[in-house]
Structure 1
C-alpha cells in the first residue's frame, strides 16, 4: 500500500508547504461567498488592443457605469488619454475594434448570444478624427462586423447572408443572396463548426481589402433537432440543424468575392464533399488563400493553397494519423513575409512542436523539440529571428512563455514565476502582457518587454489577496500516483482548513477527463474550485485526477483513449478512488464523484461500474450515449457508429444501468443545445427499465451552462445539500 507522505513527493516543488493564515476568528468559506459574493473572482485587464505606432496599447474600462477605451503608454504603463468615452456618446458598449490606421472604431452593444461563440449585436461606427458616430444597418442586429484593411468598407453577416458597406457613401452591397435559416449560411459557421472548431465568423478580408473570402454552409440535408421552450401557454419548438454522430453534415464550400467586378469564384477543394473546411487564411497578400481541409474521420489534415482568381488549388502539406489529427490542438499557422514559408505545429514526434515549412511544403526545420508540448504559437519576430510560444516544459501543470531562434537555438524562458501564464503580445513583438496565477496567487496582469523585463504591473489583485486572508482555507496540493499498469497520473487535493490526520473524512472526486482537457493546473481557481473550498470548509476532502486521454503530456497519453472513450478514463478514476481511499484519514465508505458534461458522463460511469468504491455521484448535463452527440467531436475520437458500434455502446452509461448502486443525482437543462436533454431522458428511461431509483432535477430552458438569474445559486445549493445528505 502506498503511503500518503510519498504521495506528494513528485510535485513538492509546487508549494506543497502551504501555511495560510488561519486565525481562530478566520471565516469559513460559505456557499454565498462563492456563488453570490464571488469572493474569489479576480479583476482582469479587458479589451487589449495594440496600437500600430508601437508606443501604446488600448484597454476597455468601466467608469461610472459606462465603457471607455483608454490609451496606455507602453514605456511607462500609465494611462495617457481616453480615446472613446461611452458616457459622452451615451453608449454602454461591450467590445470594440479599430480599423488598420486606427482612424475608426466599431463599437458593439446590446450583444445577444446565439450559441457558445456566436452573437449578434448593434454595431456603431465611430470616427476618431471627426468624432462622428452612427449605427450600422440602422440599428438592426448583425454579426461579426469587420473593417477592411484599406479603411474603406465594413463587412458583416445579416440573416445568413454576407454584406459590406462603403464607409464614404453608406452604400450597402449584398454579397450573397441564398442565405436562409436552417438551410444556407454564408460567412457564419453552423452549429457544429462553431462548437467543435472554435469558430463563429467565417469570412476574411484580403490584405488589400479588394476581396472577401467566405465559407458557405449548405445545411439542407442535415437532420433538424427540436427543443421545446417553456414559459408560454403553448410551449414553442426551437429547431436547428445538429448533425449527430454518423449522420449527414453540412456541405461546405469556400468562395472569394471580388469587390471590383462583383464576381464570386468557387474554390475547388476536391470532389469529396463529406469533408471539413474549418480554416481559411490569406497568405500575406492577395494571391494565395490558404485552406485547411480534414477528412470525415479527421485522421488526415491537408494544407491547400488556392488561387482566388481561378479557384485552382495546390496541395502543400498533408499530415496523417492512425488516430486523429486534432485541429483544436494544431490550429497554429503563421505565414512569413517575402515568401519565407510558414510556421505550424504538429504532434509528429510524439509531442506538439513548432515546424518551419517553405511554400512548397518542404520542412525547413523543426524549431522546438523535447518531451513537452507547445500549447500556443504566439508570434514571430522576423527582425530578430525569434519565435515566441507557450509550453509545458517546466511542468505539464503549468504554462510558461519562451522565445527561441528561428534556427531552433538559444531558447529563453521569459516567465520564470511558477504558475500558469497567458500571453498577449504586441504585433511588433517588443512587448507582451502576461496574465498569470497559481494556486496561491490570484491573477496578476503585467506589462513586460520582449526580454521578459517588467515595465509595470497592470492589475495585482491586492484587494483580493488581502480579502482571502480573512478566510480559512488550504490551497490545492499536487500529487501523482501510478495506476496498476504503471501509468503516472497527476492530481490535486483540497483538505479542510482545520485538517486533522487522525480523523476520518469523506472524499469527493471532481472529474472532467475529456480528450485534451486539463483540470489539474497550478492556477487560481474559478467557481467550481471555490465551491470545493466551501465543501472543504464543511469537512470534506476534495480531489481531482487527470486521467489518460487528457492534455499536456504528449500524443501517446492523449490518444490512448481513441476508439474506446470511457474505458481507460473510468479505470483511472476508480484507481484514484482506491488510492486515495487507502489513506488513513479517508472514510472508504464515503467516497463520491461529480462532474459536468464529459465529467457528468464520467461520474455516471464511475458510480455504475465502480459502485464498490463510489457511493454517491452527481452528474450534470451528461452525455449518456455518444450516439446522441455531434459528428465532429465524437467521430474524431470514436470514428462513426457505423464503423465502431462497440466504441459507442460498451461504455455508454445506458449500457451499465443494471449495475447502479448508491446515490445518483442527475441534473440537466432542458434548453441545452450542446449535450441535449435527450441524453438524460434516455438514461432515465433505461434506469426505469432496470428498476433503479435515482434523483433527478431539470432546469427549464437553461442551456449547457445552466445559469442565469438565480439558477447558479439554486444549482450549487442543491448539489451541496445532496453531498451533505448522502456522503
Structure 2
C-alpha cells in the first residue's frame, strides 16, 4: 500500500482500507440463479454461515434449498471430522438431475436431493493427472487468443457446439476443433497465417448502463452443430509498429500491427464453414473499412445474421446469409451525418440490433429523432412500427417475450433524473411504455428466462444497494435487506452528493457526484481533486452506490476523501446516454467544450459550497482522461493547479479509433478539428504541476507520453514522468500500487502545500 508521507497515521490507515472498500459493504446485491421452473436460488451469509435459499415468484415463498444440518452431518461423517464454519460447505453447485455436484477442499461430491446422502466422485488417477487427461481437461474449454484491432488481445474460451461434442477455438491462426470425448484436437482449416488468420466469435466483456461489467456471448455454431460462422482477420495492409521490451538481458523488439489515424484497418472476411466437409464458403459482402459483429443463427440453422459498421461508425447495416450456400442479402441500413454507434460499443459486442424469435423481424436502435429508441422491422427491412419515443434514451434490450408480447429493456426513463437506470417494457405490437421500477436510482436487472419475474438491485450515490423481486408487470413481491455499510461508516465515510449544474453554455444541465471528506466539517475548506474521462464512449460518473471491489485503482477516488480531499466527478456535454444533441457536442470538437464545462461546473459548485477550496484544485484521469487532464490544465490554468495524466493519448493522429468523432480520417474538411485537438504545440503554455504516468508497452500512449515530455523539456517546463516498465494500458498490481502512491504524493505536494 502507498506510503502517504504528508498524512497522519490514521488517515493513511483509512485510505488503505478504502482501497478495498468493496469488502466493507456486506450484502445488498442478491445474485440469483434461475431454475427451470421459474424459481431462483441465491446464497446468503457467506462465508461463515452459508445457506442457499430458493424463492418462488408465483407465491412469494422463500425456503431452504438444502437442509444445512443434514448436509453438514453427512459430509462430516464421510470425512470423519467436523467441518469448518457453521453453514453449507459450498456456495455453488452443478445440477445433475436427481443429485447435485459440489466441491469441497478440492474434491467433487455428489449430494442426493431426496435423502441428502453424499458420496465422493471418483478422483482422476495418477496417469490422468500426469498426462493432463482428467475429464475436466479433456472436455473443458481451453483458452485461445483472438486477433484484435488493438495491440493487446484477450484470452477467451473455446465455444461449445450445441450437441456438446465439440468446441471450436484457434491454434496457429487456424480453426481448431476440440473433441470433448477424448480431448483431441483436429484442425478445421490449414491456410491461416500471421496477419491473415482465422477468428471466431467468443466472450466479449463490456459496460452496461449503470457501470456494471457484462459478458456478451454469441455462439458461432449452427444449432445442428454442422456449420460455423467464422471470419478471416486480414492485417497485412496495416502498417507495422514496434515496441521494445527492456527487462530481459537483451532487448526484445516486438512487431505490432496497429492502425494510426488514416491507415488501412484490418479487413474482416466472413465465412460459412462446413464442419463435416472441411469446406469454407466466403460470404460476399463489402469488407473494406468495415467492422463486423455476429448476431446469431435461426433455430432451424437455415440462416445466419451479422452486422457491418463503417470505420467512421456513420453507417450500420444488417445482413442475412443462407446457412448452406452462404448467399447474403442486405436487410437494413442506416446512415447518419455523424457517428450513429459508439465505437467502443461495437468492440464490446453491443450492436444496437435485436433479432426477434421465429423470424418475427428485428428491433433496431436509432437516434434519428434525437434520442435512442426502438423500431420494429420485418425481415425484409420494412418498418412495422416505432416502439418507444420520448425525451429519454433506450439503453439495453434485455429480452423479448414473444409469447407474452413484450420487449424488456433498460432506459434513462425519467427526464428529470437523466442518469437513473429503469427497467421498462413495451408491447411488441405497439402501445405505451411501462416503467417497472418506480423508485429513483440505478437499477441492475436480473430477468427470469421465462420473463415471469425479475430481480432489481437499486442504489443511489448516497443509498446502499438493496435488491427486490417483482413480477413482470412491476408488482413488488419481496424486498431483501439493504447492504450493511457499517464498515464504511466506522471509517468516517460521508455520503456522496449527487448534483446538477449548468454547462458552459448556460443552458444544458450536466450531472455529477461530489465525494466528501471523512468526518466532513462544512466549516473547513478542503482541497479538491477532479476525476475526469471526457471521451464520448462512457459515462464516467457513478450515479449508483460506489464501492468497487477488486483492483484498488477503481477505489482511489473515494479513498482520497480519507486524506482530506473533496473529489468531484461529472460528465460534460459530448458524453453518451443522453440526447443525440448532447453527445453531438463532441463531433469534430474534441477538446474545448469538455474543459469549459468542467471548469464552469467546479466554479458553480464552489459558489454554493464554501468548503470547496477553488484555489486548490487538482485533476487526474486515465487514457482519454489523461488527455483531458492536460487539456484542462492548458485551457483553464486559473482553475487547475496540479494534474496526473495516466496512460494518456495526446495526439488524435496516432490511433484510428479517433476517426468516428472527427468525421473520418483527416482531410480538408476536418483538418482544423484534428489540429485543435493535438496538445503538443500548446505544451509551452502549461502552468500547473503535471505528472505523466504510462507503461512502456502501451502502444500509442507510450509514444504520446514521450512526445509530450519532450515538448515540455524543450519549453523548459518542470514536470514528472513516471515510467512503468513493460506495462500496457492497464497496470499490474504492484505497478498500480506504485502509481497510486505517486498520485497521492503529487497531490499532497501541490494541493496541501
Q: 1:203 Cα deviation (Å)?
A: 6.2
1-side partners of 2:404 and 2:511: how far apart? 38
Partner residue, 2:321: 306
1:574-611 CA-to-partner distances (Å, cap 9, x unmatched) read: 22233334454443431221111111110100111211
Q: Is 1:401 equivalent to 2:426 in the alignment? A: no
Aligned mate of 2:503, from 483, 495, 498: 483
* 3-state SS of paired residue (2:594): helix
Q: Is 1:655 equivalent to 2:681 in the alignment? A: yes
Q: 1:86 Cα deviation (Å)?
A: 3.8
1-side partners of 2:282 and 2:435: how far apart? 45
Q: 1:506 Cα deviation (Å)?
A: 2.2
Q: 1:235 Cα deviation (Å)?
A: 3.3
2-side partners of 1:406 and 1:201: how far apart? 24
Q: 1:338 Cα deviation (Å)?
A: 3.1
2-side partners of 1:439 and 1:568: how far apart? 26
1:318-369 CA-to-partner distances (Å, cap 9, x unmatched) read: 1111111215286233322333211231111111111111111111111111
2-side partners of 1:192 and 1:473: how far apart? 32
- Verify the 8 A CA contact 1:28 1:471 in the aligned structure 2: no
Partner residue, 2:730: 705
Change (3 A) 1:676 1:533: closer
Q: 1:661 Cα deviation (Å)?
A: 0.5
Q: Map residues 158-557 of structure 1 onto 2, 5 A cutoff.
A: 158-167=171-180, 172-187=185-200, 204-270=220-286, 273-326=288-341, 328=345, 331-394=351-414, 395-453=417-475, 460-462=482-484, 465-485=485-505, 486-525=507-546, 526=548, 530-557=555-582
- Verify the 8 A CA contact 2:139 2:182 in the aligned structure 1: no
- Verify the 8 A CA contact 1:283 1:335 in the aligned structure 2: no
- Verify the 8 A CA contact 1:46 1:61 in the aligned structure 2: no
1-side partners of 2:216 and 2:396: how far apart? 20
Q: Map residues 676-715 of structure 1 onto 2, 5 A cutoff.
A: 676-708=701-733, 710-715=734-739
Aligned mate of 2:65, from 80, 85, 101: 80
Q: 1:628 Cα deviation (Å)?
A: 1.9
Q: 1:264 Cα deviation (Å)?
A: 1.5
- Verify the 8 A CA contact 2:312 2:660 in the aligned structure 1: yes
1-side partners of 2:140 and 2:567: how far apart? 52
- Verify the 8 A CA contact 1:249 1:274 in the aligned structure 2: yes
Change (3 A) 1:546 1:657: same
1-side partners of 2:180 and 2:526: how far apart? 66
* 3-state SS of paired residue (2:543): coil
Change (3 A) 1:590 1:73: closer
Q: Is 1:149 equivalent to 2:162 in the alignment? A: yes
Q: 1:555 Cα deviation (Å)?
A: 0.8
1-side partners of 2:438 and 2:630: how far apart? 40
- Verify the 8 A CA contact 1:595 1:602 in the aligned structure 2: yes
- Verify the 8 A CA contact 2:142 2:158 in the aligned structure 1: no
* 3-state SS of paired residue (1:255): strand
Change (3 A) 1:669 1:59: farther
1:385-424 CA-to-partner distances (Å, cap 9, x unmatched) read: 1111111012222111112211332433222343212223
- Verify the 8 A CA contact 1:324 1:637 in the aligned structure 2: no
TM-score normalised per structure 1: 0.81
Deviates more, 1:615-624 or 1:635-644: 635-644
Change (3 A) 1:591 1:49: same
Q: 1:303 Cα deviation (Å)?
A: 1.0
Aligned mate of 2:692, from 662, 666, 669: 666
Q: 1:616 Cα deviation (Å)?
A: 1.1
Q: What 5-or-longer segments of structure 1 have no aligned partner?
A: 1-25, 93-123, 127-131
1-side partners of 2:624 and 2:27: how far apart? 29
- Verify the 8 A CA contact 1:193 1:278 in the aligned structure 2: no
- Verify the 8 A CA contact 1:28 1:472 in the aligned structure 2: no
Change (3 A) 1:627 1:87: farther
Aligned mate of 1:579, from 593, 599, 604: 604
Corresponding pairs, count:
654
| Aligned-pair Cα RMSD in Å | 3.6
2-side partners of 1:389 and 1:414: how far apart? 10
Q: 1:474 Cα deviation (Å)?
A: 2.1
Q: 1:719 Cα deviation (Å)?
A: 1.3
1:531-584 CA-to-partner distances (Å, cap 9, x unmatched) read: 333433433222222111112211110122112211211221222233334454
Q: 1:509 Cα deviation (Å)?
A: 1.8
Q: 1:178 Cα deviation (Å)?
A: 2.6
Change (3 A) 1:594 1:138: closer
- Verify the 8 A CA contact 2:204 2:217 in the aligned structure 1: no
2-side partners of 1:45 and 1:504: how far apart? 36
Change (3 A) 1:62 1:210: farther
2-side partners of 1:480 and 1:297: how far apart? 32
TM-score normalised per structure 2: 0.78
Q: 1:280 Cα deviation (Å)?
A: 3.8
2-side partners of 1:60 and 1:672: how far apart? 42
Change (3 A) 1:141 1:658: closer
- Verify the 8 A CA contact 2:501 2:605 in the aligned structure 1: no
Q: 1:246 Cα deviation (Å)?
A: 1.1
Change (3 A) 1:715 1:326: same
* 3-state SS of paired residue (1:393): coil
2-side partners of 1:182 and 1:79: how far apart? 55
2-side partners of 1:431 and 1:493: how far apart? 35
- Verify the 8 A CA contact 1:420 1:521 in the aligned structure 2: no
- Verify the 8 A CA contact 2:168 2:176 in the aligned structure 1: yes
Q: Is 1:722 equivalent to 2:746 in the alignment? A: yes
Change (3 A) 1:59 1:250: farther
1-side partners of 2:312 and 2:598: how far apart? 28
Q: 1:31 Cα deviation (Å)?
A: 1.7
Q: Is 1:31 equivalent to 2:18 in the alignment? A: no
1-side partners of 2:21 and 2:42: how far apart? 30
Q: 1:240 Cα deviation (Å)?
A: 2.9
- Verify the 8 A CA contact 2:503 2:572 in the aligned structure 1: no
Q: What 5-or-longer segments of structure 2 have no aligned partner?
A: 1-9, 67-92, 95-100, 110-131, 146-155, 208-213
